[in-house]
Amino acid sequence: MGKLVYSLLILFFVHVICASTLEESSENELVLNYIIQNGDCQAQAQPCDLCDQSKWTNNENFNKTASAYFIDGGKADTFFQMECTLHGDNIQISSTSQNGANLVVTGTMYLFGKKGVLLNTASIAMGGTGYLNATVIKTTDKTLLTLRNDAVLEVLQNIDLSFKGSTEVDLNDNSVLRCFGDAQFDLVKILGNGYLSGVNVTLDELALDPNAVIEANGTLEFENKPTSILLGRAVASTLLFHNNLSAYDLQVDHLTVPSGFSLTITSNGVLRAKSLQLNGNLVIDNANLIINADEMVILRPPGIINLVGNSMANFSNVAIRYLNTTSPDKNKPLSTINIDNSVSFIGSFDLDAVIILNPNSVLDLNNDLVLEKCIKNYGGIINAYQVLTCNNDDLYLYLTDNITPQLTIYEDASISLYMLYNYGGLITIKATNKLVGNVVSNGTISIGVDAYLFVTGFIDLIQGSTVIIQGIGYNTSRPALEALNPIKLAGDIYFNVSAPLPNANVAYFLVSSQQLYLEGKFENVIQNPLLAIYNLTQLYVYPVEDDHSVVPLPDTFLVYSNTYTAPTKKHGPGLGIFFGIFIPIVFVCAAIGGGLYLYKKRQSAQNIHYHRLNEASQTSLST
């Protein structure tokens, strides 16, 4: 009698649970088919086989589509085994005790719940292949789902999988959990070579081993829990998180770093993104950052990208307002920033980094940029609008795959470095610009109309170099290209001069060493228009040496009007033969008077001005 009462009580309790947790059938005539713990299922060498029809209370209706299944494990060491197909409107695996029900799958499991599958205080351990097919799959009350030993669990159709309510999902070894719909989890541990995929995946916490992978075709979202540390690979179309996140290998199309929090990419890791919204901070800690946007993305404040140590950042189609680098140890390699497509530095940056421009890329420096190292340009374009400073390295322009590297210096811009090496590149001067440093070039230096480049060091124009002076007026106070120190001339020079006044004594100053000398001569001088039509002559003017210790005029290459001429004079070793043309006797007195005036003016001069080269050409011209 007692056993009968006990069975009736259990049956009543089961009905109550099913009524409260399972979705009602549209037919309202579900046949309940349940199995509860009994002597055959406790501490047996072999678990109870759920595919054994005799184990079910209503075995006549076993595996009928209108059935609702309830599997209960009431005590510890109660295990169920399943290697068959189980389908019905509702499937519930739960327990009436805190010990829980344990379902062990060693082969292939099929749970087809037309209305839903509910895991309630249950533990499912899979070592084979499982398939869940239901409208809704939910878990409650400390359910544990463990996949191990190459197990595979596929949630079929476009259904929602919800492992919420203090539940845990563990993917061990090479196990796989594939969700073809959305999935929600409290805690997921993807261990070993485990793999989890879904459309939109939401997690409170995620533990990701180095070789493990989580992938979301839609949004991967971390809810407001303590910092998640991802040691493996995470792939998503959109990443959302509401606390600090640390990741190793992150591939995201659309990434937003929320305000007040940070995303850290750890040592030797990588972040790949197509778009990035920085409300918080992004830290690249001795790792790699790759932003390859399809269209221009502006990284606006208040967020900052911080490159720490030996990090690498690859930017493509990105405009950057805030960027910071930190080098804890100056003896270690600094961060590297790779530029592809179009990148703009909108803000002012002081970076412990080296910048590399790849072929056909464009880097716009819209504000001041200070680099601990400098820039290596392999076929890209640098547009400098403000100040570019390289503290401890040189700027290189490398001809790469027949693609010409370019450096364009605009009005108000200046460059400060030790060496600028132009190997087959193009340096364009747009206005009055200053370069603090030295220049070595076998490429092209193009100086715009009425523009001016002053180099505080030396200039070496080596074999194959070209200087283009697009247009220069006469009697200017400065030459088009000037260096404080020597200029070594080689290669070709092209120049265009404006028309002089008729019968005027004019000079066009092309290239000059302000204090020292010119070495060598241009191999080819190409004039446009030809100087003869203006009665102009190209000349090299060298310093004047006399007994009065007058500050010498700088060495200058110029063209001038030969309306007035001077006698031939030789100056110093290797200076060539000076020449003069005697003018008619009627102008002799005027020429002598002009020469005396120039001599006295030289004695009193303390600073050399380029307009004096007009007058100096009267007494020191040489071909």
DSSP assignment of 498-563 equals PPPPTT---EEEEEEESSS-EES--SEEEEES-GGGGTEEEEEE-----TT-PPPPPPEEEEEETT
Q: pTM for this one?
A: 0.70
96 confidence band (pLDDT: 50, 70, 90)? low
Read off the pLDDT of each residue in 521-527 and give the average, rounded to a whole number.
Answer: 91
Count the helices and strands in the chain (H runs, E runs). Answer: 3, 52
Cα distance between residue 321 and residue 347, in whole Å: 4
Beta bridge partners of 48: 80
Average pLDDT, the chain: 75
**Are 558 and 537 contacting, i.e. CB atoms less than 8 angstroms apart?**
no
Q: Is the peptide bond before 529 cis (omega within 30 degrees of 0)?
A: yes
* Peptide bond before residue 552 is cis, with ω within 30 degrees of 0: no
Indicate if the pLDDT at residue 564 is higher than 50: no
Check residue 563 and give its pLDDT.
54
pLDDT at 7 exceeding the cut of 80: no
- pLDDT surpassing 80 at residue 411: yes
Highest mean pLDDT of the ranges 152-166, 418-432, 473-487, 518-532: 418-432
Q: What pLDDT does 279 receive?
A: 78
- Check residue 126 and give its pLDDT: 63
Within 10 angstroms of residue 475's Cβ, the number of other Cβ atoms is 18
Residue identified by tokens 């199995």 is 35
- The model's pLDDT over 448-478, given as tens digits with 9 standing for 90+, comes to 999 999 999 999 999 999 999 999 988 888 8
Q: How far apart are CA 111 and CA 86, in angstroms?
A: 5
Q: How far is CA 237 from CA 158, 215, 216, 284, 511, in A?
A: 18, 9, 7, 20, 57
> In the chain, where are the structural domains located?
431-623
Strand partners, 453: 433, 481
Q: How far apart are CA 306 and CA 326, in angstroms?
A: 7
The mean pLDDT value for 297-307 works out to 72
* Angle made by CA atoms 171, 100, 43, in degrees to the nearest 5: 100
pLDDT higher for 142 or 458?
Answer: 458
Angle (nearest 5°) at CA 147 between 142 and 151 = 155
pLDDT recorded at residue 123:
64
User: The tokens 């005029």 sit on which residue?
Assistant: 553
The residue that leads in pLDDT, 520 or 18, is 520
Helix (H, G, I), strand (E, B) or coil at 52: coil
Q: Which amino acid is at 556?
A: T
pLDDT number for residue 400: 95
The pLDDT value recorded for residue 121 is 60
CB count within 10 Å of CB 339 equals 25
**What pLDDT is stored for residue 592 in this prediction?**
40
Q: Does residue 613 surpass a pLDDT of 80?
A: no
Q: Residue 293 is encoded by which pair of tokens?
A: 């946007």
Residues 151-170 have pLDDT tens digits of 777 776 556 677 776 677 88
